[in-house]
Amino acid sequence: MKANGGNVGFLNQGLEGVAKQIGGIRPWYDGLNRSWGEPLSAIDYQELEGPIEEAMLLRLGTVAGPVFTARGQPGPTAAAAADQLRSAVNGHRWIHLCTASVDGQLVGFKVGRSNDPRTFESWVGGVLPNARQQGIASHLARLQEAWCRANGFQFIQTETAHDNTAMLTVNLKQGFCIVGTYLDRGTHLKVILQKDLNKRNGQCAPHPIQ
Ligand SMILES: CC(C)(COP(=O)(O)OP(=O)(O)OC[C@H]1O[C@@H](n2cnc3c(N)ncnc32)[C@H](O)[C@@H]1OP(=O)(O)O)[C@@H](O)C(=O)NCCC(=O)NCCS
């Protein structure tokens, strides 16, 4: 995987190094030893493209539990989350990952993939609970968009659960338009959002009323 940010040494380390890296990550409930609403110190953003290496998959897996699981609920193991991400993303022709770290600790990420040169699919992302509402997801989205523009994509597409207010808000504020909905596995209503990179933010086509 090609790194576009600085400080990429950890990407080149073997699995032993990964274990040390993960061992050094504090548990999520301890988080960044800060209270809700307390501003974060400097946030280091990095971008990588191409298949995600094992070291990074495991780092992402480590934060996936706390990012996607409600407090007190058991989350996926780092290895299980890394497996899911590997099979969902690696193997695509275009892959882009951006991360946000504080003091070397991963606090947020956004991953996208595509086999289609026109439309890039923003696949999954999240921010640790204690680091939310400080603009990290928005910044990651802007990095992804800039990379998509630089790589000739015309659209970014994503899906969000209908009740995920936070993610819907982030996407709408970044200029995504709702282009459809569907019932996933017959029960979960999903909202499909798309951003046309050739249009200015907020220019969503009116949907014909049938
Ligand atoms: C969705 C998520 C990534 C947002 O991350 P974040 O870093 O807190 O988002 P930002 O700080 O960039 O917020 C952007 C805007 O959305 C708004 N927003 C964020 N969370 C919100 C919430 N829970 N309710 C309402 N608005 C919210 C912010 O107020 C902000 O608006 P502003 O620019 O006017 O201040 C984060 O809540 C998360 O990780 N959720 C769990 C994982 C998840 O659901 N991922 C998406 C599915 S793959």
State pLDDT tens for residues 167-206. Answer: 999 999 999 999 999 999 999 999 999 999 998 876 787 7
- pTM for this model (two decimals): 0.84
pLDDT band at 208 (very low <50, low <70, confident <90, very high): low
Is 190 touching ligand 1 by the criterion CB < 6 Å?
no
Q: Specify whether the CB–CB gap between 77 and 99 falls below 8 A.
A: no
Query: Candidates 43, 85, 127, 130: which one to mutate for ligand 1, based on the most atoms within 8 Å of Cβ?
Result: 127
> What is the arrangement of strands in the sheet containing 105-114, beginning at the earlier edge strand?
2-3, 43-49, 94-102, 105-114, 119-127, 155-161, 188-196, 177-184
Residue positions counted in the chain: 210
Is 174 touching ligand 1 by the criterion CB < 6 Å?
no
For every residue of 47-87, DSSP letters joined together read EEESSPPHHHHHHHHHHHHHHHS-TTS----HHHHHHHHHH
Is 132 touching ligand 1 by the criterion CB < 6 Å?
yes
Distance spanning both ends of the chain, measured CA to CA: 47
Is 165 touching ligand 1 by the criterion CB < 6 Å?
yes
pLDDT band at 210 (very low <50, low <70, confident <90, very high): low
Instruction: For residue range 7-52, list pLDDT tens digits in order.
Output: 322 222 232 233 333 333 333 333 444 555 566 779 999 999 999 9
Residue of the CA atom closest to atom 5 of ligand 1: 137
Our separate counts of H helices and E strands in the chain read 5, 8
Residue of the CA atom closest to atom 37 of ligand 1: 166
